[in-house]
Structure 1
Amino acid sequence: MTNATTAAHVTSPYFARNQWYVAAYGTEIGRDLFTRTVCGESILFWRTGAGEVTAMADRCVHRRFPLSEKPSRLDGDTVVCGYHGFTYGADGVCVSVPGQKRVPRTARLATYAVKEQDSFVWVWIGDGDRADEGLIPRAPWLDSERYSTVYGMEPLAARYGLLVDNLLDLSHETYLHGGYIGTPEVAETPITTEVDDAAGVVHVSRHMDDAACPPFYAKSTGIEGRITRWQDIEYHAPCLYLLHSRIAPVGTPGPAADGSDPDAFHVEVVYAITPETEHTTHDFWAVARDFALGDEEVSAFLAQNNRTVVLQDVVALDRLETVIASEPEGTQELSINIDTGGLAARRILRRLVEEGAGTGTAAL
């Protein structure tokens, strides 16, 4: 983990600070300068010669030139600003300035705590002294040899709270994703919701004993006929969403007491919901499966179909963002039973925002 330098950042009353967020897949970051904005903060990422990920503010201290912009470059384990040549080490400290031997004491960039785990690169947004790696939620399937995984990321021109709402209420699959993952039973089946406010975790479950098998699962598993379909959501505020999916032909026995379940197919759907700005979001998605391991045809099918589903959400949420942004302040909305998980998540997010910033919160 890179040591974090405590520095003054522009604090928005919308983002939950002192939290871990997914900034990238590990495969995105190498020996090229890479930038991504997280919670309104533009961050520069790169790997040292030893392969460690480092993260620092993507602005030179001299004239604020973005270090990710060419002709800025890496020189060994230092970053050379392409505007005036200020040079920084992996710890953010400036080691060279043009035209003089003395380097100003204040010539240093804010650095961020980072942790590479489960195929993700996590970054701590907030007070670096409070960055506890033990707080990072796990998604171990993404780099497990017992699973095959496809993944991607789509930009969302909508506030991140809308994606949280979307993923915690899967009844929309019936209508928005029909022909891919949606069937009538998803919307018809009641949910159960459990909330751990202290841990910031929301559980939403929907178990369908007899449901149509959507193409997403029929073509990837080879199941013919109706299925038992379980959807068990585990949302770790503010960033990580896990959907534990169990699919089996109707009549298949459930999991054994020891947790083994050899007669069913299991899919772990993972979303990292990372705010970019107050009205844009990084929508990371991954699908891990415990069947057809290494089958490239199945992987290509799931990657294409899941990206199609994600893009259907993107179109809907981008449109919803424009509607909400144009509404008068105080406009009311109606909530029903299927919204219990999403409402609990909203409550937790508001608390995290208030605890992190010490201010009121904008609408999530």
Structure 2
Amino acid sequence: MTSFARDQWYVAAYGTEVGRELFTRTVCGESILFWRTGAGEVTAMADRCVHRRFPLSEKPSRLDGDRVVCGYHGFTYGADGVCVGVPGQRRVPRTARLTSYPVEERDSFVWVWIGEREKADTALIPRAPWLDSPHYTTVYGMEPLAARYGLLVDNLLDLSHETYLHGGYIGTPEVAETPITTEVDERAGIVRVSRHMDDAECPPFYSTSTGIQGRITRWQDIEYHAPCLYLLHSRIAPVGTPPPRPDGTDPDAFHVEVVYAITPETEHSTHDFWAVARDFALDDTGVSDFLRENNRTVVLQDVVALDTLEKIVATEPEGTQELSINIDTGGLAARRILKRLIAQGISASAATAPAAPAAPAVVAAVAP
């Protein structure tokens, strides 16, 4: 059984990656060809010619205007994936068409729908508006992960690992010591995990970028929108700084929005898209360079750990038990939601099962 949730939107690329060159990326085991039309629209279709399965992303395949010409035998396709020309005959077989994918460009990401085309609803795409907001400056990247995407979901929903895996960069003792509060909205498929530290060490990631010296108030508020998007709302301020105002403004604090798109490539590999948006030092290229380099270092530390963990998990007998504690409530809720979404994608009966209660369940983890 597949471990992918279908009938879902996934991030396939940054918008900056897709242009007038043929570009390919595998999403949920499906190899997809992306390119922009002359009008600038992103199009997505299967990256395999219908004739002899040659990858259309491989040279000498090429774009000819708004048509893709296969570099093996010259089969030619329009932007909708329909074949418009074949070699040696005028008649094009009616079945000569590639699977085309609904695609939407939003918040700097290119989203692709994996599943039944008629179910694609762009209103279901979760938002990350900071990534292209003039009020934020963003650095971003993508790292390949040789591990199943569920391991990255677990990793990001339990930030206590920052203390141990990312010490000297983003982690401090208070992250692991501070209890969390977990809120789960089963119907919407959203998990929220909050950790508010009233008096914490300021890690180099923030002391260098903000200039804060001394102890800080540090908030970490996570939103995970299953199956793909992870948002970390970080608030950093010197100890004693007033809390946000009743109207939601918070002029005395620094805010960093960390965004991850967790996109399965195959059963055992993942595209780890990451972005860091900030509302301070907007034009300071030195701060941008520092945050880009340091966040990539942190991401690569996760990559090494999860690639190692994948090798262990892949060889263990099915049903091997593991121990979970209070810090795992968010990750366990995400696993449960993903299991339901996967079942809905493969079972019509599951898709018509009664909906979960609308009111979110709140679970407060108790400090051991």
Q: When the two structures are superposed, what TM-score results if normalisation uses the length of structure 2? A: 0.94
Looking at structure 2, the residues matched to 325 and 15 of structure 1 have their Cα atoms a distance apart, in angstroms, of: 17
Deviation readout 1:91-121 (Å, 9 max, x if unpaired) = 1010000000000000000000000000000
Deviation readout 1:295-315 (Å, 9 max, x if unpaired) = 100000000000000000000
Looking at structure 2, the residues matched to 159 and 278 of structure 1 have their Cα atoms a distance apart, in angstroms, of: 6
| Paired letter, 1:46 | W
The equivalent of 1:3 in structure 2 is none
- Kept in 2: contact 1:56–1:112 (CA 8 A): yes
Deviation readout 1:184-218 (Å, 9 max, x if unpaired) = 00000000000000000000000000000000000
- Say which SS state the counterpart of residue 195 (structure 2) adopts: strand
Looking at structure 1, the residues matched to 23 and 342 of structure 2 have their Cα atoms a distance apart, in angstroms, of: 28
Deviation readout 1:110-160 (Å, 9 max, x if unpaired) = 000000000000000000000000000000000000000000000000000
Residues 294-309 of structure 1 aligned to structure 2 (within 5 Å): 294-309=283-298
The equivalent of 1:223 in structure 2 is 212
Q: Does 1:343 align with 2:322?
A: no
Shift of 1:294: 1.6
The equivalent of 2:22 in structure 1 is 33
**Divergent runs of 4+, >2 A:** none
- Kept in 2: contact 1:269–1:285 (CA 8 A): yes
Residues 1-364 of structure 1 aligned to structure 2 (within 5 Å): 13-358=2-347
- Say which SS state the counterpart of residue 167 (structure 2) adopts: coil
Moved more, 36-45 or 322-331: 322-331
| Paired letter, 2:136 | Y
| Paired letter, 2:188 | A
- Say which SS state the counterpart of residue 72 (structure 2) adopts: coil
Deviation readout 1:199-255 (Å, 9 max, x if unpaired) = 000000000000000000000000000000000000000000000000000000000
The equivalent of 1:6 in structure 2 is none
Looking at structure 1, the residues matched to 11 and 320 of structure 2 have their Cα atoms a distance apart, in angstroms, of: 32
Looking at structure 2, the residues matched to 316 and 357 of structure 1 have their Cα atoms a distance apart, in angstroms, of: 31
- Say which SS state the counterpart of residue 26 (structure 2) adopts: strand
- Kept in 2: contact 1:185–1:211 (CA 8 A): yes
Shift of 1:328: 1.7
Looking at structure 1, the residues matched to 143 and 334 of structure 2 have their Cα atoms a distance apart, in angstroms, of: 22
Looking at structure 1, the residues matched to 97 and 250 of structure 2 have their Cα atoms a distance apart, in angstroms, of: 54
Looking at structure 1, the residues matched to 314 and 71 of structure 2 have their Cα atoms a distance apart, in angstroms, of: 38
| Paired letter, 2:308 | R
Q: When the two structures are superposed, what TM-score results if normalisation uses the length of structure 1? A: 0.95
The equivalent of 1:9 in structure 2 is none
- Say which SS state the counterpart of residue 36 (structure 1) adopts: strand
Q: Which runs of 5+ in 1 are unaligned?
A: 1-11
Looking at structure 1, the residues matched to 330 and 53 of structure 2 have their Cα atoms a distance apart, in angstroms, of: 42
| Paired letter, 1:81 | C
| Paired letter, 1:355 | Q
- Say which SS state the counterpart of residue 324 (structure 1) adopts: helix
Shift of 1:13: 2.0
RMSD between aligned residues: 1.1
- Kept in 2: contact 1:13–1:359 (CA 8 A): no
Looking at structure 2, the residues matched to 109 and 122 of structure 1 have their Cα atoms a distance apart, in angstroms, of: 19
| Paired letter, 2:144 | P
Aligned length: 350
Deviation readout 1:282-332 (Å, 9 max, x if unpaired) = 000000000000210000000000000000000000000001111122210
The equivalent of 1:4 in structure 2 is none
| Paired letter, 1:173 | E
- Say which SS state the counterpart of residue 246 (structure 2) adopts: coil
Looking at structure 2, the residues matched to 275 and 156 of structure 1 have their Cα atoms a distance apart, in angstroms, of: 9
Looking at structure 2, the residues matched to 243 and 113 of structure 1 have their Cα atoms a distance apart, in angstroms, of: 28
Q: Which runs of 5+ in 2 are unaligned?
A: 350-368
The equivalent of 2:361 in structure 1 is none
Shift of 1:359: 9.2
Shift of 1:83: 0.2
